[in-house]
Chains A and B, each alone.
Chain A
Amino acid sequence: MTPGMDAPRPSPSLAERLKAFRYRPEEEVPPLAMFPARGEDARPAAVAEEVREVLSFELAGGTYAVALGGVLEILRARTLVEIPRAEPPLLGVLDVRGTVTPVYDLALALGLRERIRKVSGPPEECEAVSRDARILVTRTASGPVGLWVDRVRDVVRLPVGAIEAGTGEPEGVTGRARRGVDTLLLLEPERVL
């Protein structure tokens, strides 16, 4: 092989090489985000550094969390519009700026309480709403859904490596993580309801 100091030769491959130069959305690309460290498969380390942001809240004395990305807003809990023949755990609906949003009793859905709370219908029939109670409006495949919780705590950044897989205890609990003395149970709202 002669080093490339010879006269520029007509290259039949120029057009071919320009083809690769031109951007095509369907081009094949190397797995960039997964570049392992040289000489070792660094994937576990890379995964350990990944962080999931969750919103933690209290429910019947326990601490739970949902993915922060799925939370659209947090509303102060209030009495709801009653739905005739609503099936538990549906509590009622709420007008969230023009969108009729069903609100569910998350504690009941998780089997943490036996009786659905009465928070819709005539005011005199409703139970008092705790000052701390909140409705988490979360995104689901079927549109926004409200989750009634006892109290919102804070946003927690959990290293993915610190999350243990859920053991299948209440349906919808997909993982658990230690948080100081507490155990955070991670929920997927869609699987709970």
Chain B
Amino acid sequence: MALEPEAETLDLFTFSVGAHRYAVDVRRVDEVLAPAEVTPLAGAAPPLEGLLSLRGAEVPVVDLRLCLPAGTPAPGSEARMLLCWLGKRRVALRVDGVGGVLRVATARLQAAPGGPLVPPAVVALAVEGGTVHFLLDVVELLRRQSPEAGAPG
């Protein structure tokens, strides 16, 4: 036995976009907001929707539904905005629904296979209760959307 599985755990925050479930590091999530009015920004290209005025701060809003595979959200899911930390700034991510906090043992995570079946910027898979959660590297996902990186499509 070379390696003993570590008891190290990871706290995830789960949400859904289209038909898939995703997860980000729970420490990244600042707040879950009900969908609010977004001020359009001239020249902003999708997935950047505009700015959200949040208690005196302006927060960019990104429609994650435009960054991830489409699909029909699970019935009963309610659209939300996930206020997330990216570095020292916050961004509001529009999602189809939110789940909750999920603690997983890192040893149980599976590396994401490459290829077209896995959404972009997914670093690993967590299978809990028969549901696959894609662990999403949000920073990488948004980096791929920026024009310098050659936005897809």
Q: Which residues of A contact B137 (CB under 8 A)?
A: 17, 20-21
Nearest chain A residue, comparing its CB with the CB of B144:
A30
Nearest chain B residue, comparing its CB with the CB of A12:
B111
Interface residues on B, range: 35 or more
Q: Does A141 contact B (CB under 8 A)?
A: no
When the two chains form their complex, are residues B87 and A29 in contact, meaning their CB atoms are under 8 A apart? yes
Q: Which residues of A contact B135 (CB under 8 A)?
A: 18, 21
Q: Does A37 contact B (CB under 8 A)?
A: yes
Q: Which residues of B contact A38 (CB under 8 A)?
A: 45, 147, 151
A15 nearest CB across to chain B (Å)? 8
Q: Which residues of A contact B117 (CB under 8 A)?
A: 4-5
Known contacts A25-B87, A29-B139: A45-B42 contact under CB 8 Å: yes
When the two chains form their complex, are residues B106 and A18 in contact, meaning their CB atoms are under 8 A apart? yes
Tell me which residues from 15 to 47 in chain A have a Cβ below 8 Å from any Cβ of chain B. 17-18, 20-23, 25-33, 35-40, 42-46
When the two chains form their complex, are residues A18 and B42 in contact, meaning their CB atoms are under 8 A apart? no
Tell me which residues from 7 to 34 in chain B have a Cβ below 8 Å from any Cβ of chain A. 10, 24-25, 27-28
Known contacts A27-B86, A30-B139, A38-B151: A17-B44 contact under CB 8 Å: no
When the two chains form their complex, are residues A17 and B111 in contact, meaning their CB atoms are under 8 A apart? yes
Main secondary structure on chain A at its contact with chain B?
loop
B-binding residues in A (CB < 8 A): 3-6, 8-11, 13-14, 17-18, 20-23, 25-33, 35-40, 42-46, 48-49
Q: List 13 A-B contacts (CB under 8 A).
A: A3-B114, A8-B113, A18-B109, A20-B137, A20-B140, A22-B25, A25-B87, A29-B143, A31-B146, A32-B60, A32-B62, A35-B48, A46-B42
Given A36-B45, A37-B44, A45-B43, 9 new contacts (CB under 8 A): A11-B111, A20-B139, A23-B28, A23-B85, A25-B85, A29-B89, A30-B143, A42-B44, A46-B43
